[in-house]
Chain A
Amino acid sequence: EIVLTQSSGTLSLSPGERATLSCRASQSVSSSSLAWYQQKPGQAPRLLIYATSSRATGIPDRFSGSGSGTDFTLTISRLEPEDFAVYYCQHQDTFGGGTKVEIK
């Protein structure tokens, strides 16, 4: 069973800053199978990125994904007020524990 670790539990950043979120898999995974989601309080998760780097429909280009093997990254180039949320990575039937991006 693959375990996904999102080591940065909480990131405290300011609007306009760059956010770099990490997701580490316990063993190498296919790049076609790594996705990222954003979840705001009281809402369902929203798909941001699939297949490591493909943006989902309607997702702004300030969101980008990269990585391979066991290490994957979600980057938000410049944080907008609406980007402060919890972010989850996912591979097949497994989700990471989430990273909260909060306003500093």
Chain B
Amino acid sequence: GQNIDQPTEMTATEGAIVQINCTYQTSGFNGLFWYQQHAGEAPTFLSYNVLDGLEEKGRFSSFLSRSKGYSYLLLKELQMKDSASYLCAVPGAGNNRKLIWGLGTSLAVNP
């Protein structure tokens, strides 16, 4: 089957670094997405990893290990506006281009 696990909640301090983990099980692998979702708004795309390693994009970086079925999102120099839910997703099996979504990690950034 296909499954995604991520922590439900995390708390961090403004200016700090936080790592949000995601583990997945899929019948075939075709990349992993991270989205950010502020309360009451739509998810917005953050990153897509298909190869192993770290991809950096400004304050946000995403890491993938296909052999371990593991990814993390690294947020540096945290700002209050980073308080949001972070969703991990992987494409489902087959050719229907569906995404399998994790439940999301709610990050609270405190001053």
A and B from one complex: no
